[in-house]
Every structure is written in C-alpha cells, then in structure tokens.
C-alpha cells in the first residue's frame, strides 16, 4: 500500500529512482480525482498515475502539475495508519489515512454499553491510534450521576486512556478537547445521537464556509459535505470527518487480534497453557488468573467474549 514500485531484480547499479514531485496532502477524494493541498495552502485537483492505488483522505503524496489547478499524483507515502470500514457488500475499504487519534464519543443519553465502548477502543488500538473517550452532554448529569459515571469509567482511566467530559450546550470541556486535538490528526466516532455533529460544529465553527471553498475547487457543489474530508483546526491539528467515518466500527477480526486490541491483556498473551486459549474455561489461562487477581477487570474479559460471539467466533 503506497509503497514505491520496486524493480528489485535490476542490477545494483540500476537503483530505482527516488520518487519525485511536489508534496501535498489529500483533503478529500472525489470519484477519480483527489483534492490536494500544497504546502503553501493552495488547493489543486489531481488525478492519479495508472499504476498507483486509490488515494484516501489524509494521504501524503507527491504530484506533478501542468497547470496551477490540475496535477497528477506520482507517489503515495507509506501510511502510518489506515482507517477501514466495510462497504455495502461487506468488503473492507480504506477511508482515511495517517490518523493518530480516535475520539470515541459517548453520552448518558442515548445510554452507552461497555462492549460498544470496548469495540471502539479495540479498533483504535488495532490501527495504532490513540483513543480518547469523550463523554458528551455533561449538562444532563447531576453531581451523583456524574460521579457514578466517573466510577464506571475508572477502569479506562487506569488503563491510561484519557476521559473528558464535554457539553456542546454549555461549552464545558471543549477547551480541553481542543488541546487534545492539537498537533494530531483525529477522527470523531460514536453511536448516533451522542453529539458528534454538534462537536464537529463546535470545533470547526466555519465549517460551512470551508466546505463551500472546497466545493469551488472540485466543482462538485455540496458533494463535499458528505465526502470524507480533512479539515485544519483553528488551533493546529486536523480533523477528518464524514458521516461514514463517524459511524465506523470494528471490522471482522480473529480471536488473537481481538485479544491484542485489549491493552490490559497484552502482557499475558502467549503465556496461557494452551496456545489457542480463548480465556474461557481452559486450565492454565493467565488472563483469567489476572482477572481473579483483579489486575484485569472482569467486565473487560466479558466484553472480549461478547465481541468474539458477535463476530461469530
């Protein structure tokens, strides 16, 4: 994916030429064309060379241009992470590249389930991104319900996950959220109704103006509001957004991958008596022992089993 084509059989003298072109960042992808931002902030519409895979939002690329408004992508840099999601036919599709933070939005209304939160956390871990848990609609919590929720989320704080409380109504917590987004490329995910669109509007107050500017360059009218798009945040940092990305969730994974996505299981993986241990009723299971010793939370192990079952494993 995105690797320079290699002619490794050629003699040592005939090394593959390093890729050339002007660097750019793919802000969005439309049909065959990519909307590319140059280092000076100018936008250019690019098609890709035939031998290249499809670019996705967030790709860092090299391009050559014949006019100020049109270019050809000649190279895609290796991706540090790729966010994927199944399409309508269940095939896994890459949707965004080089994300380093996934902001998992939950709320007391609609209430959230811990298996769902764990499935977002596992997805974030498996693509090598830092998850941040945002509890939105803080204004709906009174003192008691706030501390109860904090207690329930304590397991995650102990795992070193950031937990932030926000409200788009009162703007509480939004400053802290802005700070967490600085210098990072982030994406907001979470179930419908928790306030993701409201948070995007709060983080990008001029979103309508920006989508208008992008539409002008692509000539595709309002299409940009539904395409996965990278926006620069006012305080530095980038946010990748699209309705499809917001609904992203865990793709099919095997039992070992799933266990690896639970950061608290990692020190014990490969240490159980049976190499194919599913951490259920098997003797000599080190993860179950860690649960008995209260090192791993029983709820996390139960969620692992629930996720395995929901994946038909």
Judged by the rule CB under 6 A, the positions of this chain that interact with ligand GDP are 136-137, 139-140, 167-169, 192-198
Cβ proximity to ligand GDP: between 184 and 196 the closer is 196
CB of 159 to ligand GDP, least distance (A): 24
Cβ proximity to ligand GDP: between 139 and 208 the closer is 139
Cβ proximity to ligand GDP: between 192 and 292 the closer is 192
**Is the backbone of residue 236 left (phi > 0), alpha (psi -120 to 50) or beta?**
left
* Long-range interactions of 296-300: CB distance < 8 A, separation 24+: 296/264, 296/265, 296/268, 297/155, 297/264, 299/114, 299/155, 300/118, 300/155, 300/262, 300/264, 300/265
CB of 241 to ligand GDP, least distance (A): 10
Q: State which residue has the least CB distance to ligand GDP.
A: 195
Cβ proximity to ligand GDP: between 97 and 124 the closer is 124
CB of 262 to ligand GDP, least distance (A): 26
The single residue listed with the structure tokens 């830092």 is: 130
CB of 58 to ligand GDP, least distance (A): 21
Distance of CA 116 to the CA centre of its chain: 15
Cβ proximity to ligand GDP: between 58 and 195 the closer is 195
The pairing of strands 229-232 and 185-189 is: unpaired
**Is the backbone of residue 50 left (phi > 0), alpha (psi -120 to 50) or beta?**
alpha
CB of 270 to ligand GDP, least distance (A): 38
Cβ proximity to ligand GDP: between 109 and 182 the closer is 109
DSSP 8-state class, residue 221: G
CB of 166 to ligand GDP, least distance (A): 7
Q: Which of 34, 82, 31 is CA-nearest to residue 55?
A: 34
């Amino acid at each position: 994916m995105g690797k320079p084509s290699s002619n490794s059989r050629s003699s040592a003298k005939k090394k593959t030429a390093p890729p050339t072109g002007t660097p750019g960042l793919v802000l969005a992808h439309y049909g065959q064309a990519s909307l590319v931002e140059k280092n000076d902030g100018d936008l250019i519409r690019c098609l890709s060379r035939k031998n290249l895979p499809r670019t996705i939002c967030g790709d860092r690329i090299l391009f050559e241009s014949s006019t100020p408004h049109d270019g050809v992508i000649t190279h895609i840099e290796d991706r540090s992470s790729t966010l994927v999601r199944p399409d309508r036919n269940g095939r896994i599709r890459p949707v965004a590249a080089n994300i380093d933070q996934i902001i998992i939005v939950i709320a007391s209304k609609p209430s959230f389930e811990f298996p769902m939160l764990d499935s977002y956390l596992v997805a974030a871990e498996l693509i090598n991104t830092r998850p941040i848990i945002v509890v939105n609609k803080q204004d709906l919590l009174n003192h008691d319900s706030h501390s109860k929720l904090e207690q329930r989320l304590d397991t995650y704080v102990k795992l070193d996950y950031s937990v932030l409380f926000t409200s788009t109504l009162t703007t509480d917590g939004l400053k802290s959220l802005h700070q967490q987004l600085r210098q990072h490329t982030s994406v907001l995910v979470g179930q419908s109704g928790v306030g993701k669109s409201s948070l995007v509007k709060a983080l990008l107050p001029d979103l309508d103006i920006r989508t208008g500017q992008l539409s002008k360059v692509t000539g595709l009218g309002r299409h940009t509001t539904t395409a996965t798009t990278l926006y620069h945040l006012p305080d530095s940092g980038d946010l990748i957004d699209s309705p499809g990305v917001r609904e992203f969730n865990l793709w099919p994974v095997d039992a070992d991958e799933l266990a690896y996505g639970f950061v608290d299981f990692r020190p014990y993986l490969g240490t159980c008596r049976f190499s194919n241990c599913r951490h259920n009723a098997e003797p000599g299971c080190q993860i179950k022992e860690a649960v008995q010793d209260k090192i791993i939370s029983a709820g996390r192990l139960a969620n692992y089993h629930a996720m395995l079952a929901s994946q038909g494993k």
